[in-house]
A and B are shown apart, each in its own frame.
Chain A
Amino acid sequence: MTTLVEPHVQRPAGSPDPAGAARRHRRGPALRWRIVVVGLLTVFATYFLLPVYWLVVASTKSTDQLFGSFGLWFSEPRLLDNLRNVLTYDDGIYLRWVVNSVLYAGVGSVVATLIAAMAGYALAKYRFRGREALFNVILAGVLIPGTALALPLYLMVSKVGLANTYWAVLLPSVVSPFGVYLCRIYAATAVPDSLLESARIDGASERRIFATLALRLMTPALVTVFLFQFVGIWNNYFLPLVMLSDPSLYPITLGLTSWQSFAGRQPDLHQLTVGGALLSVLPLMVAIVVLQRFWRGGLTEGSVKA
């Protein structure tokens, strides 16, 4: 914000204030400008929140009302019944999908963050031949479209008999070139060389220095890498779609689209899809609101140096 703080001078009441008159004159356009800005912000907020609002309203309706009533207002709400149906349909397969999603995204992003932290730290703090070349190869990895890799990965994974297993989704998910990039840039400034030297003089091993000193100093970047990887895996669709054929291994994304694709023949699945979508979207939205500052902090590091 271009806050121009004008020096405020107290004047005796009643004395002429030519500067004040001029300021009042200028306040007209400033106020109008403020109204325009807030108005535009509100219009955009409506756009981004409308589908979420629709989802909340739709998840309270019966299948009949979903198609038979106005979409932006409640009609015969029965949210709890709907959610119970979502959770119990097909022997509670939905909960199984939730567990799978948490497993893929949770385990995948923790491991990915740790591995990226080690690699980024090594690239930032040790000098060795080929360091820049290696870093450039990893950077190129950021630019490779993930979906172009999924198909050959499927062929490779099925050769070794791992297709249609948890490993098929989990293993490719622990590689985050973007994470290495972010960790290197962050470690370069956040972990001072002098601190490493004095730890070495004190006789600490390299591994111990990393585990006790570096990891703690890199924490803000690690949280950001973790969050992005978590959302990336949680939202991923192509990889599990290609890898998995057994519905009991599906993550939520794949499960819900399977319901949606059967809904043409089985209309009740429309309502299940809507209710399932609501349940799956809520936790991540809460996380986004609660963890706001980490989304911001890490992105600065990533973009400033790019």
Chain B
Amino acid sequence: MRTRRSDRTAAAGFLAPFVLLFAAFFVLPIGYAIYQSLLRVERSGPLGLGGSHTVFAGLSNYRAALTDSTFLDSIARVLLFAAVQVPVMIALATALALLLDAAAARGVRFFRTAYFLPYGVPGVIASILWGFLYVPGVSPIVDLLDSAGLTVNLLDSGSVLWAIANIVTWEFAGYNMLVIVAQLKAINSELYEAAQIDGANAWQVIRYVKLPLVRPAIVLTTVFTIIGTLQLFAEPLVLRPVSTAINTSYTPNLAAYTQAFANNNYSLASAQAVILAVAACVLSFGFLRLVGRKGDDR
């Protein structure tokens, strides 16, 4: 490949549509959110009816967001959620992938499809479904537990976060499993033979051959799971009508949505969205650096 003038022209032509749309729908909104978050609407006259105008507000929206205890609660809630959800999700996806890898060829297709199927169910529809499976009176699960003498409320304040975690796991474990399965398939079978000759048993092959080699897939799925869990929105919104434990700022995204569309406070909502995006970036890049450094040590 050489750098030629015609190369540059052709490349520019091919790149132009994506770059323009990326700028308009990814870069610009970020800039606009930051700009909006630095403004404040001031109303004048009695009861604020004398009209309104926008003024520069500095970081006051950020201060307001970060001193609002309900918003801080929502952040703490998704962090707790992520601290449990991410390891459970990755462990389950890895276990499913290794199990499929260990099973004989027959039936594997069925199981793989069964696990991946929920990925085709939109998150809100999955939440509607599981919502029915949680509500006493409709849910066969609650019915069965009841007749076994266990009275549970899956939707009270102590349980509902984990009821949501179950929905998220159900939706995405199969997808993450597939990413790991793909990488397992790419492992050169000579490595297994070499391990076998060295007398490694099945566990040792998993521990010393498979897991290290699927590490990139596990890192990838972990990053996407972190980003996904912090964005938690649809599941609690859909469960809200059936659970009194979910308020309008249950997650940061829900809080921003409420600020924007119930309270018409776009500036505060923008500040909250920016805080969420920064948190997602910090956590995912932080995770990548952490595993990157560990990788160098090997």
Residues of A at the B interface (CB closer than 8 Å) are 1-2, 4, 33-34, 37-38, 40-41, 44-45, 47-49, 51-52, 54-55, 58, 66-67, 70-72, 115-116, 118-119, 121-123, 125-129, 134, 138, 141, 143-149, 151-156, 171-172, 174-175, 177, 180, 193, 206-207, 210, 231, 234-238, 242, 252-253, 256-257, 260-261, 263-264, 273-274, 277, 280-281, 284-285, 287-289, 292, 295-296, 299-300, 302-306
Chain B, residues 204-243, CB within 8 Å of chain A (1/0): the string is 0100000000001101100100010011011001100100
Instruction: Known contacts A40-B99, A71-B139, A300-B182; decide if A122 and B14 are in contact (CB<8 Å).
Output: yes
Are B125 and A281 neighbours in the complex by a CB distance under 8 Å? yes
B152 adjacent to chain A (CB < 8 Å)? no
Residue of B nearest to A274 (CB): B132
- Asked if A295 meets B14 with Cβ closer than 8 Å, knowing A48-B118, A256-B128, the reply is no
Contacts A48-B114, A148-B273, A207-B13; A299 near B18 (Cβ below 8 A)? no
Contact across chains for A51 and B101 when beta carbons are under 8 A apart: no
B122 contacts A145, CB within 8 Å?
Answer: no
Contact of A126 with B122 at beta-carbon distance under 8 Å, contacts A37-B103, A38-B107 already known: no
Closest chain B residue to A174, Cβ basis:
B21
Docked-complex contact A146 and B231, CB < 8 angstroms = yes
Residues of chain A within 8 A of B104, CB atoms compared: 1, 34
Cβ contact within 8 Å between A126 and B8:
yes
Contact of A303 among B109, B183, B273 (CB under 8 A): B183
Contact B26–A177 (Cβ < 8 Å) = yes
Supposing A41-B100, A147-B233, A306-B219 touch, asked if A48 and B117 sit within 8 A by C-beta, the answer is yes
- The 0/1 profile, CB within 8 Å of A marked 1, for residues 113-139 of chain B is 111111111111110111111000111
- 10 nearest A-B pairs in the assembled complex, by CB-CB distance: A71-B140, A284-B120, A122-B14, A119-B18, A126-B11, A152-B33, A206-B10, A235-B122, A148-B277, A152-B29
Q: How far is the CA of A260 from the CA of B122 in the complex (A)?
A: 15
A260 and B185 form a contact (CB under 8 A)? no
Of the candidate stretches B40-48, B54-62, B173-181, the one touching chain A is B173-181
In terms of DSSP, what is the predominant structure of the interface of chain A?
helix
With a cutoff of 8 Å between Cβ atoms, the chain B residues found around residue A40 in the complex are: 99
The reply to whether B30 and A144 contact each other, CB–CB distance below 8 Å, is: yes
Q: How far is the CA of A116 from the CA of B18 in the complex (A)?
A: 7
CB nearest to B253 among chain A residues: A147
Beta-carbon contact of B277 and A33 below 8 Å = no
- Which chain A residues border B7 with CB–CB below 8 Å? 126-128
Q: Closest CB-CB distance, A235 to chain B, in whole Å?
A: 4
A contact residues around B123 at 8 Å (CB): 235, 237
Chain B residues positioned under 8 Å from A304 (CB to CB): 182-183, 186, 216-217
Residues of chain B within 8 A of A292, CB atoms compared:
109, 112-113
- Residues of B with C-beta under 8 A to A303: 179-180, 182-183, 216-217, 220
Q: Looking at B21, B30, B137, B196, which has the most chain A CB atoms within 10 Å of its CB?
A: B21
Q: Does any Cβ of A come within 8 Å of B72's Cβ? A: no
Report whether B126 and A51 are in contact in the complex, using a CB–CB cutoff of 8 Å. Answer: yes
Is B26 within 8 A of A253, CB to CB? no
Task: Please pick, from B117, B196, B220, the residue contacting A306 in the complex, using a CB distance under 8 A.
Answer: B220
Assembled-state Cα–Cα distance A234/B96 (Å): 26
Interface residues of B (CB under 8 A from A): 1-3, 6-8, 10-15, 17-19, 21-22, 24-26, 28-30, 32-33, 36, 96, 99-105, 107, 109-126, 128-133, 137-141, 143, 170, 173-174, 178-183, 185-186, 192, 196, 202, 205, 216-217, 219-220, 223, 227, 230-231, 233-234, 237-238, 241, 253, 256-257, 260-261, 266, 269-270, 273-274, 276-277, 280-281, 284-285
Task: Enumerate chain A residues within 8 angstroms of B261, measured Cβ to Cβ.
Answer: 242
With beta carbons under 8 angstroms apart, the residue of A66, A231, A289, A299 that contacts B178 is A299
In the bound complex, CA of A45 to CA of B219 (Å): 25
Q: Are A41 and B22 in contact (CB under 8 A)?
A: no
Give min CB distance, A246 to chain B, whole Å: 15
In the bound complex, how far is the Cα of B30 from the Cα of A147, in angstroms?
11
Residues of chain A lying within 8 A (CB to CB) of residue B234 = 237-238
CB contacts (< 8 Å) of B25 on chain A: these are 149, 153, 171-172, 175
Bound Cα distance A156, B216 (Å): 37
A300:B183 contact, CB within 8 angstroms: yes
Partner of B238, one of A4, A144, A236, A257: A257
CA distance A149 to B32 in the complex (A): 10
Query: Is B15 within 8 A of A119, CB to CB?
Result: yes
27 A-B pairs (CB sep. < 8 Å)? A41-B99, A41-B107, A45-B115, A47-B170, A48-B115, A67-B137, A71-B133, A71-B138, A119-B17, A121-B14, A122-B11, A126-B7, A128-B11, A148-B273, A148-B276, A149-B26, A151-B270, A151-B273, A156-B32, A171-B24, A175-B18, A175-B22, A237-B233, A288-B120, A295-B116, A296-B178, A306-B217
